[in-house]
Amino acid sequence: MKHHLIIALTAMAVPGSHAFGQEADIQPETLTVEERISEGEHVYVMDMGISGPSQVSVLNAEDLSMEGNIGAGNFSQMLMSPDRSTLYTSSVYQRRYTYGEIEAVVHEWDAATLNARREFTISDKLAQTLSQKGVLNLSADGAYLVVQNATPATSVNIVDLTAGADLVEIPTPGCWTAYPTIEGHAFSTLCGDGTVTKYGYAPDGSAGEPAKSEKIFDSDTNPLFGNAVRVDGNLVYVSYAGALHVVDDSGEVPVLVRTVDFAEEGWAPSGYNLMGYHEPSKTLFITMNSTPFDGSHKLPAEEIWAIDMESGNVTGRGAANGESSIAVSGGETPAIFGIDHLGGVHRYEVTLGDSVTITKAVSREGVAFFPTIVATDY
């Protein structure tokens, strides 16, 4: 809160604060900056900027009221740190806004004060793509960012957070997304040849050879979404047709350990960041639509389904509101936050048990122009 006095302004007098309050009962108000958002729980909604800045709106989780925002560059990605103290963004700045040289920038935002703790540039190969979970992630030890590049040739950039600089670029041709393994220095990526491929790297900047799984899907006839979630250590992908593909990537080579074909006839998953997992109850939530066809995989959601990841059964279905992406909170009982294709934000209350209920509790319309990804700080 700097307060320069501009002394060269001949057009302006410069009254001190004592110039007011001449009358005993009047004292000037104080102008300050809010030190932080409220204590408690919040939702972070990305409004991805195409021609202008991306913007993260920070809403109160209870009533979805506006508590502040964050501005980043074009095509921003977003990641909440595991301890919920830091929101990472990676985005691209063009020198002339819509043309000219670019800089790709990582920001570490204090998730409570909404100040940038730090920013630094990374390789400008950073994928300029719709904000999605597989593009910006933290290594298991929190020391590295794992960043998807696209020029549009694909590679993965390992960013050393201590140094605030790129460590190594690993070519990942024909593959997309990069989910860090839950131990060590490696990530897994989904490839057009139907495999999940694992790449290792080391703090000295060396990278290992790719380790390919067996073919676990067919990108022509049975494609998987790029969006994945970690479920009890495994990576869970979902197919356009509605089958979960559970991949164990802890070993030398990723292995498909299970598929869960949960979609009933006439329903299929659709959306962008379309899944969220609630660990305490082993429940996966996913957005669904009732009219599958070739091209329906991004339709606004009609329902949100709950899947018990132990039994593989659908344990609940609730009416949705045209969501394209969701986030699931922590806590004993989760809340679900959905962002719809018109820019609205919705909070759903969940009751757990053999039968899960999902009920919309609060909505706030028009929060974003291009809503892409949503996160919580709890």
Partner 1 sequence: MTRIIDAFLKRLDGLTEANIRGAARRNGRRSFLARGGSALLGAAVAAPVLPFDRRAHAAEGGTDDPCTYWRHCAIDGFLCDQSGGSLTTCPPGSTVSAVSWVGTCSNPGDGKEYLVSYNDCCGKPFVPTATFCNNNKGERPGYRMGLYNDVNWCTANADKGYHCTVSVVVGLAE
Is 97 one of the binding residues for its own copies (CB under 8 A)?
yes
Is 105 one of the binding residues for its own copies (CB under 8 A)?
yes
Q: Are 247 and 235 in contact (CB under 8 A)?
A: yes
Q: Which of 118, 151, 215, 264 binds partner 1 (CB under 8 A)?
A: 151
Is 207 one of the binding residues for its own copies (CB under 8 A)?
no
Q: Which of 63, 141, 183, 193 binds partner 1 (CB under 8 A)?
A: 193
Is 333 one of the binding residues for partner 1 (CB under 8 A)?
no
Cβ proximity to its own copies, 94 vs 296, nearer residue: 94
The C-alpha angle with vertex 104 and arms to 1 and 96, in degrees rounded to 5, equals: 80
Is 132 one of the binding residues for partner 1 (CB under 8 A)?
yes
Which residues are bridge partners to 291 per DSSP?
Answer: none
Q: Which of 67, 108, 308, 323 binds partner 1 (CB under 8 A)?
A: 67
Is 13 one of the binding residues for its own copies (CB under 8 A)?
no
Considering the complex, what minimum distance in angstroms separates the CB of residue 354 from partner 1? 33
Cβ proximity to its own copies, 219 vs 296, nearer residue: 219
The residue whose two tokens read 């790719």 is 210
Considering the complex, what minimum distance in angstroms separates the CB of residue 141 from partner 1? 27
Lookup: tokens for 302: 């009609």
Which residues are bridge partners to 87 per DSSP?
Answer: 80, 109
Residue ranges in 159-178 that form contacts with its own copies under rule CB under 8 A? 173-174
Partner that binds at residue 93, options its own copies, partner 1, none, CB closer than 5 to 8 Å by kind: its own copies
| CA gap 367, 114 in Å, rounded | 18
Is 308 one of the binding residues for partner 1 (CB under 8 A)?
no
- One-character DSSP codes across 166-215: EEEEEE-TTEEEEEE-SSSSEEEEEETTS-EEEEEB-TTS-B---EEPPP
Strand-strand pairing, 74-80 and 66-72: unpaired
